[in-house]
Every structure is written in C-alpha cells, then in structure tokens.
Amino acid sequence: MKNMPSAIEWKLSQGVVDYPAAISKMEQRVEAILSGTAPEMVWLLEHPPLYTSGTSAKPADLLDSMRFPVYSAGRGGQFTYHGPGQRVAYIMLDLKRRSAPQAPDLRAYVQQLEQWIIVTLAHFGLKGNVREGRVGVWVNDPNGQEAKIAALGIRIRKWVTYHGISLNVHPDLSHYGGIVPCGISNFGVTSLEALGIKTTLPEVDDVLKQEFGRVFS
C-alpha cells in the first residue's frame, strides 16, 4: 500500500452538482483513500432542489414525490432536502488511521460533526444545540421555538467516511414542504437568512474551513 498523503484536500464546486454524479465521485474517492492513493477530502457544494432518503426513511414522510427528484442515498437517517443556498459538505476521512492506536469511534465522529456546525454557527452569533433523539443541529427561531438549521447523514466503508452535513444558509425553506424532514413533524426548519443573518456561502465556507482543523485535529 502506498503511503497516504497527510494533508486534507478541500474541494469547492461552483454551481449545482448533480446528485448521482456526486455519489459516484465520493465512492471513487473513498476507494482511493482506502488504497492510499489519495488524501482525505472535504468537498463543499450545492445540489439542485431534490430529496434524499436515508436507510431509516419512512415512505409516509415523502409528502410530495412529484415535486423534486427523490434519491435513495444509502446514508443513515431519513428524508432530507438539498438545494441552492444550502452548503453541503461531504467529508471523506479515514477514521481508522485517525484513531490509531485506539479503535475507530463512530459516535465520536458524529459528535465532531455536530461540534463543527455549532462552532461555525457561533461565528454568526447563533447558539446551536443538539437534542437527544433528534439528529442534527438546532437553534431557536425568532418565536423562541426550536428549529433545525443543519442536518447530518453519514456512511462508512471500511472506516472511511462519506456523505456528511448540510447547513442552511439561504435556501428556499418552502421546498421542505414535500417531506417530513428527518421524520420530525413537530419542529420546523430554518436558515441563517431566516434568522436575520445576512451572509454568503463563501463567508460560511471560510468559517467551516477555519474551524475544521480545530475540531478534527
């Protein structure tokens, strides 16, 4: 096996990226990481409007199957939405190499993803929280109600991660109306824009990249 390069590659795609093409590229990169021929990667992108279903998705939670394309993602979780104005970060890390000599810890990785989002939100004056039994990161909306601002969905192949997180910066939140997001119907979804925070995807990207090294050191 070749020695794996140690530096993480950051990739930023302009415009929207076709979902099946993204899955194919992630799977190719995972195989390259496993073979030691490519470094770990964080891929920042946007998708066109679409819904994805995870391994725990319930058919009844797809409220409008004709609104946008629906893809089976193979990741953990239930139904979620992706679209313009939402920063998707696909993270391909070798947990086995990172955790040696200890055994890889999937739960610790999920907690790192959550913390990464929380410290990113803090840069914009928002307090993010995690809730037992509710996947993702939550904030309080202007009415004091909890709303989801970021989703998590991961998959592992021989301890190399793929899929990742999505953070709502300024998406069209009405697009969530075709699903029950993550199977949770009694809480809403929100975004930085809906909370009165005017920022851009490049500004969010800068913070994500800055905080990643601290959280995943």
Q: Which residues are identified as catalytic?
A: 182
| Burial of 143 per CB tally in 10 Å (0-12, 13-18, 19+) | exposed
- SS3 label, residue 117: helix
Handedness of CA 15, 20, 104, 35 (dihedral sign): negative
**Which candidate, 19, 131, 124, 9, places its Cα nearest to that of 73?**
19
> What amino acid occupies position 65?
S
**How many other β-carbons are positioned within 10 Å of the β-carbon of residue 152?**
21
- SS3 label, residue 50: strand
- SS3 label, residue 190: coil
The alpha-carbon radius of gyration of the chain (Å, integer) is 17
C-alpha angle 152/162/68, rounded to 5°? 60
Q: What is the DSSP letter of 112?
A: H
